[in-house]
Amino acid sequence: MHLRDGLQTHVTVRQRYDHLVELGSIRRDPAQLVIVAALDRLIDEISDKRLARKSSALGWLFAKRKPQREPVKGLYVHGGVGRGKTMLMDMFFELVPVKHKRRVHFNDFMADVHDRIQKQRAARKNGTSRDDDPIPPVAAALAEEAWVLCFDEFSVTDIADAMILSRLFSALFALGVVLVATSNVAPRDLYRDGLNRQLFLPFIGMLEQNTAVLNLDADTDYRLEKLDRVPVYISPLGEAADKAMDKAWAKVTHGAAAEPATVAVKGRKVAVPAAIAGCARFSFADLCEKPLAARDYLAITAHYKTIFVDHVPVLAEANRNEAKRFILLVDTLYDQHIRLVISAAATPDKLYVAKRGHEAFEFDRTSSRLIEMQGAEWLDGWAEKHPEPAVSA
Predicted pLDDT of residue 226: 46
Nearest partner of 78 among 195, 226, 228, 184, judged by Cα: 184
pLDDT for 66: 46
pTM: 0.61
- The region that residue 77 occupies, defined by phi over 0 for left and psi between -120 and 50 for alpha, beta otherwise, is beta
* Selection from 139, 193, 192 nearest residue 170 by Cα: 139
Can you give the pLDDT at residue 67? 47
Domain positions in the chain: 2-215, 226-385
Closest by alpha carbon to 189, among 115, 80, 302? Answer: 80
Domains 2-215 and 226-385 share a fold: yes
Q: What is the pLDDT of residues 64-85, one digit of tens each?
A: 444 455 789 999 999 877 788 8
Separation CA 79–CA 182 (nearest Å): 8
pLDDT given at position 62: 53
* Confidence (pLDDT) at 228: 37
> At a CB cut-off of 8 Å and minimum separation 6, what does 218 contact?
29, 31, 32, 79, 80, 83, 84
The predicted structure's pLDDT at residue 153: 79
Helix/strand/coil for 46: helix
pLDDT computed for residue 377 by the predictor: 75
**Single-letter amino acid code for the residue at 383:** A
Per-residue pLDDT, 157: 80
Q: What is the pLDDT of residue 291?
A: 92
Which regions in the chain score pLDDT beneath 50? Answer: 1-9, 54-57, 60, 64-67, 226-230, 388-393
What pLDDT score does 196 carry? 84
Q: Is 267 helix (H, G, I), strand (E, B) or coil?
A: coil
**Identity of residue 363:** F
Q: Output the pLDDT for position 384.
A: 66
Give the type of residue at 265. Answer: V
Using alpha carbons, select from 290, 365, 376, 361 the residue that is nearest to residue 332. 365
Q: Given this model, what pLDDT does residue 382 score?
A: 80
Instruction: Please report how many Cα atoms fall inside a 13 Å half-sphere around the Cα of residue 186, on the Cβ side.
Output: 8
User: Residue 303's closest CA among 210, 214, 389, 186?
Assistant: 389
Q: Which CATH class is domain 2-215?
A: alpha beta
Domain 226-385 has CATH 3.40.50: yes
